[in-house]
Each structure stands twice: as structure tokens, then as C-alpha cells.
Amino acid sequence: RQRISIERARANRLEPEFNSSTVAVPKFVGTRVFDNYDLAELIPYIDWTPFFRTWGIRSRFPGLLEDPEFSAAARPLYDDALAMLDKIVADRWFVPTAVVGIWPAQSDGDDIVVFTNESRTEVRSRLSGIRQQAAKNGDRPNLCISDFVAPADAGVADHVGGFVVTMGSEEIALAEAFERENDDYSSILLKALADRLAEAFAERMHERVRTELWGYSPDEATAPADLLRGSFRGIRPAPGYPCQPDHTEKVALFDLLDAPRAVGVELTDSYAMWPGSSVSGLYFAHPAARYFGVGHIRSDQVESYAQRKGWTIEQAELHLAPILDENG
């Protein structure tokens, strides 16, 4: 696919309106920790379709429970999962914990500058973005996450948020106990449910951010099933995924949230999260914010990114290897 220069891509960036109706003042600024969260509250937010994919059942929930091709395997698996969920909730097998942050911020080209406080005089962190370089048809923009945050000259004071949620490390000992009993099925079931509950926790906390913590959609009344389809304002992209494919950006997020101390989640040498049943990401509140895939990028953006990150070209190529354009 044809790719354009980074200069042309930046010239074709998304330029949404930044005003008092699109940029909401948060109800709180800083970080907040939610300890020992109620597991039962998270159950309605579980997305079951990926759970069944773990077991090789590639169809959509709940239809797969009635599908002649899948129901014989799916129905008993679902019953077992619900039974284990009952135990997880009743006996508090997991200890869900979350940390949420909202900070003063402004875009600076393809980056987002995060400030220490509302005086906006001291820079606390920079979140680096990567811009799409695929040639676009018509008026389709070349997106970057920084497009969703107001620049300094917009005349409004914008913010960016972030979060880490986790089911805690209890899952590890519980899974090992099942394995010692040669019950691999229950071990796999437990891990799959821990992952689903972590994602459900991320969904629920994002809902609370929209309706009360940031509060830009206070009257949102969306059923959990519709939430799973993304029927709401705002996004929560994770560093290392299509909107920003550089996993090292988790370091800045974890530093802003003080995640190891706040919720006991750490980054491994390969930037994976430990414990594994954890989810992290950024919050963008602008109505125009949407998920996208950066796709492959050219060497001119690699050079720019390396400079902004304080990396050598070799370091940038290492961390961005999956998205490098073979043709430069």
C-alpha cells in the first residue's frame, strides 16, 4: 500500500473542533485508587465472545449457545464458567484493584504533553504518538492519538487520562493449586475468567470515568451489552496496540499512575504486565476520538520518533519492528 511522507501525513491530520462543548472539565484531576472492588458489579460487563475463542469456539455470544455447530461444547463450558464465577465472587478469589488518573494535557505535534498541575508550567511527562502514513482517499485524515487532545493555541484547557486495573496475583496460586491436583481444565478456566474479569473491570471503570470521574457523559445510560460494542463517547487505547504500537509507552503511563505501588502491577523486561490479568490504557474524551490502526510507517517517521524519544535509530527500529515499511 502506498505511504506518504510524515510531513504530508501531518498536514492531513484530523483537526476536530476544540471548544467548551467538546472539551470537558474533569470532576477531579490527579490519581485515585479503587481497592478491593466488588466482583459482583463486574459480571454484567463480561464480554463472553473472547472467552469462548480461548477454547476454540469461534462464534459470537450468546448465539453460539444455540448454534447447532457449537452448542454441544459451548453450553456445558458456559455452565462451568458460571459455577466458577459464583465461587470467585462468594469466596473472593480475586482482589480487583484499579488506579485511574486524569491530568492537564495538550498536544504538541504528534506527542501529548502532560503537566504536573493546572498551572501548566511544569511538564511531568510526554506521551509519544505515531501517525498513520498510508495514502488516504478523499478527506480521510492520517490519524495520531495526539489529534484527540487540544493544542496550546486552542483556547481551551484539555486533559488526558490513564488507568491500570488488575485482578491481582491470587489467580497464580489458585491456578497452581488446580494443576497440583492434575485439574488442568479448572486451571485454564480460572485464567480465562480472570482475563475476562480484568477486561470487564476496564469496561466498568471507563463507564465511571465517563459518567462521574471525568464526568463528560453524566447522563449516559448504556446497557453493558451496548458498552461492549463501544456505543459511547471516548476511547481507552492501550500502548502497544494498533492506535500506538510502541509497548515502551507503558513506562510513561505506569510512571504517571505509580502503578506498581498503587495496584501492584509491574512491567516485565518485555513490557508485559504482571500479574497477567491486568489491563492498562489511556483515556481520550473528545467526541471525535476513535480507534484506528497506525499500520506501517516509513523511515522518516522512525527518525522523528527516535529523536522525540531520545533513542538511536537502531532502538527505534527494534521497538517499532512490527510496523516498519519494508520499502523504507
Each residue of 17-27: pLDDT tens digit?
999 999 999 99
Q: Whole-number mean pLDDT of the chain?
A: 97
CA angle at 256 for the pair 119 and 253, rounded to the nearest 5°: 125
DSSP 109: T
Give the number of other Cβ atoms within 10 Å of residue 1's Cβ.
8
Alpha carbons 23 and 128: distance in angstroms, whole number = 21
Number of domains in the chain: 1
Residue 302, in any domain of the structure: no
- Which among 226, 213, 232 is positioned nearest to 286, based on CA atoms? 232
Whether 89 maps to a domain, the answer reads no
Residue 188's CB is within 10 A of a number of other CB atoms, namely: 15
68 in any annotated domain: no
Taking residues 246-265, report their average pLDDT. 98
Please state the length of the chain: 328
- Other beta carbons within 10 angstroms of residue 259's beta carbon come to 25
Confidence of residue 177 (pLDDT cuts 50, 70, 90): very high
Q: Let me know if residue 317 belongs to a domain.
A: no
Lowest mean pLDDT among 54-68, 111-125, 275-289: 54-68
Residue 71 lies in a domain: no
Residue 328 in this model has a pLDDT that exceeds 80: no
pLDDT of residue 111: 99
Cell of 246: 510502541
Give residue 327's pLDDT band: very low, low, confident or very high (50, 70, 90): confident
Q: Which domain holds residue 167?
A: 6-40+95-295
Q: What is the pLDDT of residue 229?
A: 80
Per-residue pLDDT band for 326 (boundaries 50, 70, 90) equals confident
State the pLDDT at residue 226. Answer: 80
| pTM given for the model | 0.96
Q: Does any domain span residue 211?
A: yes
Q: Is residue 55 part of a domain?
A: no
Phi/psi zone of residue 30: left (φ > 0), alpha (ψ -120 to 50 degrees), beta? left
Output the pLDDT for position 43. 96
For the chain, percent of residues with pLDDT exceeding 90: 95
Confidence of residue 222 (pLDDT cuts 50, 70, 90): confident
Which CATH number characterizes residue 142's domain?
Answer: 3.10.196.10
- Residue 182 falls within a domain, yes or no? yes
